[in-house]
């Protein structure tokens, strides 16, 4: 039994008895909010689903996606997660499970089928859940993970997108308001408001409306610009935790390797502390909602073992920093096809055998933004264009989002949006002609019993998952 609802007290999260609770866990991404690098498709989830429907037909596509949701997280996953001593899963979901753009403000209760199931499976194992709306109407960021099929975040310019989001959170809060195993709600993942001030204004409106439905649950509020900036924030809302995301370039293929030297460790902590200056100043709860390296594939990289050991060491260093500062965390991510997850599909699974060559093609073309590898061919093509853009428009490189340079904007607009979405049907046709039994076998590739543990990662998470109170 949960010791009542969790709540914010000063800069701590406590249970009903006032005892501090430290949330340690992972993000369940790629499940109710599908992402290209997690399962292998190009572009964006909504395009992927439409392409699969066009190729397979409505009935077979619906059958496959339901079986995918069913197998991706089961009782076995929850039991395993609990054995690691972890106590929190952040469940990422796409608003489209609960509302259609062509039928707004009409709740699709079918969306709760698997969400209810996983919330209960986690509760049965003593695991709290944080409900994370990863994709919002209009797109809250310029990037792929908000299922935004362009590089324009329309959410910020249209009040109706914002009002629909508030309405949907009212429906979700009404459903879970009496569930103490739901730690709280993460209303917007990685918002990117170019003007900054609209985000805190939206949080003020959202908090007021949710509290009329649910007075108990914590709101976990991401900072602006991929949860890294706090411009325009001037106060702390009641019973709210404030979230940062803390990825290090040293955990990715194009970053410098982590050697554990003092300068790198100092850089890691400095980067982390900078992001949470707002929380420190206001004595607020810090939740690190996402972090974590990606990992090299031994079948594709000769130095994979050395690379991965460096990234495990990076992760250990980050976890020690989080322990020092007593923050709550959920690593990204729990399960995928072999790039970053604590669990991943087997290379011998029907899914991996079906999509493997296409995933390699995507990697060579840099169609996925996450963890992309160097490409001399693409560099030769894009470098002159970047140079030309910067020469004719010197301010281009400063275009929001803050961390993006000219090359990032071009890659997002051309490779990861235009080219990637043009290949949606090519990916879907990999499943053309499959029977229902074969489609179910593809979905079962994601079942816990068929997946492979990333032991090095899980061992470190298990040994570093607790803080002294």
d(CA 401, CA 405): 9
d(CA 86, CA 195): 37
Q: Name 221's bridge partners.
A: 242
Q: What are phi and psi of 171, to 5 degrees?
A: -65, -40
Strands 343-344 and 452-453: antiparallel
Catalytic member of 190, 301, 360, 379: 190
- Torsion angle, CA of 7/12/18/23, rounded to 10 degrees? 70
d(CA 184, CA 207): 12
Contact 329, 292 (CB under 8 A): no
d(CA 328, CA 186): 14
Active site residue 290: yes
Contact 427, 250 (CB under 8 A): no
Cα–Cα distances (Å) from 298 to 255, 341, 442, in that order, read 19, 15, 23
d(CA 264, CA 287): 23
d(CA 86, CA 466): 8
What is the DSSP annotation of 36-89? HHHH--SS-HHHHHHHHHHHH-HHHHHHHHHHHHHHHS-HHHHHHHHHTT--EE
Cα–Cα distances (Å) from 322 to 8, 95, 272, 287, in that order, read 19, 31, 9, 10
Contact 168, 95 (CB under 8 A): yes
Catalytic member of 35, 45, 125, 290: 290
Contact 133, 333 (CB under 8 A): no
Number of H helices, E strands in the chain: 18, 13
Contact 3, 17 (CB under 8 A): yes
Q: What are phi and psi of 128, to 5 degrees?
A: -75, 155
Torsion sign (Cα): 79, 83, 84, 86: positive
Q: Is 147 left (phi over 0), alpha (psi -120 to 50) or beta?
A: left
Q: Which amino acids are annotated catalytic?
A: 190, 290
């Amino acid at each position: 039994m949960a010791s009542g609802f969790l709540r914010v007290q000063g800069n701590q999260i406590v249970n009903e008895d006032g005892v501090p609770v430290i949330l340690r866990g992972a993000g369940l991404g790629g499940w109710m909010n599908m992402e290209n690098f997690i399962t292998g498709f190009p572009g964006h989830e909504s395009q992927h689903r439409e392409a699969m429907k066009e190729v397979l037909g409505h009935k077979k596509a619906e059958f496959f996606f339901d079986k995918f949701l069913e197998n991706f997280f089961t009782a076995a996953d929850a039991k395993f997660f609990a054995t690691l001593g972890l106590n929190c899963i952040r469940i990422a979901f796409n608003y489209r499970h609960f509302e259609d753009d062509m039928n707004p403000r009409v709740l699709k209760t079918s969306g709760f089928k698997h969400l209810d199931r996983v919330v209960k499976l986690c509760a049965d194992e003593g695991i709290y859940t944080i409900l994370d709306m990863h994709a919002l109407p209009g797109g809250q960021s310029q990037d792929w993970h908000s299922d935004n099929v362009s590089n324009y975040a329309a959410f910020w310019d249209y009040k109706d997108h914002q009002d629909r989001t508030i309405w949907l959170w009212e429906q979700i809060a009404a459903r879970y308001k009496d569930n103490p195993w739901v730690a709280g709600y993460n209303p917007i993942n990685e918002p990117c408001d170019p003007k900054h001030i609209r985000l805190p204004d939206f949080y003020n409106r959202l908090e007021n409306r949710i509290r009329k439905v649910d007075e108990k649950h914590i709101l976990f509020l991401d900072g602006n610009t991929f949860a890294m900036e706090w411009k325009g924030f001037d106060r702390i809302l009641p019973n709210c935790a404030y979230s940062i995301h803390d990825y290090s370039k040293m955990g990715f293929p194009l970053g410098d390797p982590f050697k554990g030297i003092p300068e790198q460790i100092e850089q890691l902590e400095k980067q982390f502390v900078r992001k949470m200056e707002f929380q420190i100043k206001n004595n607020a709860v810090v939740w690190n909602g996402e972090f974590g390296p990606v990992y090299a594939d031994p079948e594709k990289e000769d130095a994979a073992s050395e690379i991965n050991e460096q990234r495990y060491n990076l992760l250990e260093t980050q976890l020690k920093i989080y322990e020092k500062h007593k923050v709550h965390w959920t690593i990204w991510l729990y399960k995928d096809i072999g790039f970053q997850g604590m669990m991943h599909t087997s290379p011998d699974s029907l899914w991996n055998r079906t999509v493997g060559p296409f995933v390699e093609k995507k990697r060579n073309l840099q169609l996925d933004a996450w963890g992309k590898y160097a490409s001399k061919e693409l560099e030769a093509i894009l470098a002159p264009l970047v140079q030309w853009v910067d020469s004719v428009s010197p301010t281009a490189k400063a275009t929001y989002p803050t961390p993006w340079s000219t090359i990032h904007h071009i890659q997002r607009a051309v490779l990861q949006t235009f080219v990637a979405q043009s290949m949606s049907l090519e990916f879907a046709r990999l499943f053309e002609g499959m029977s229902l039994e074969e489609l179910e076998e593809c979905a079962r590739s994601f079942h816990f019993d068929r997946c492979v543990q990333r032991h090095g990662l899980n061992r470190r998470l298990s040994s570093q998952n607790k803080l002294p109170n």
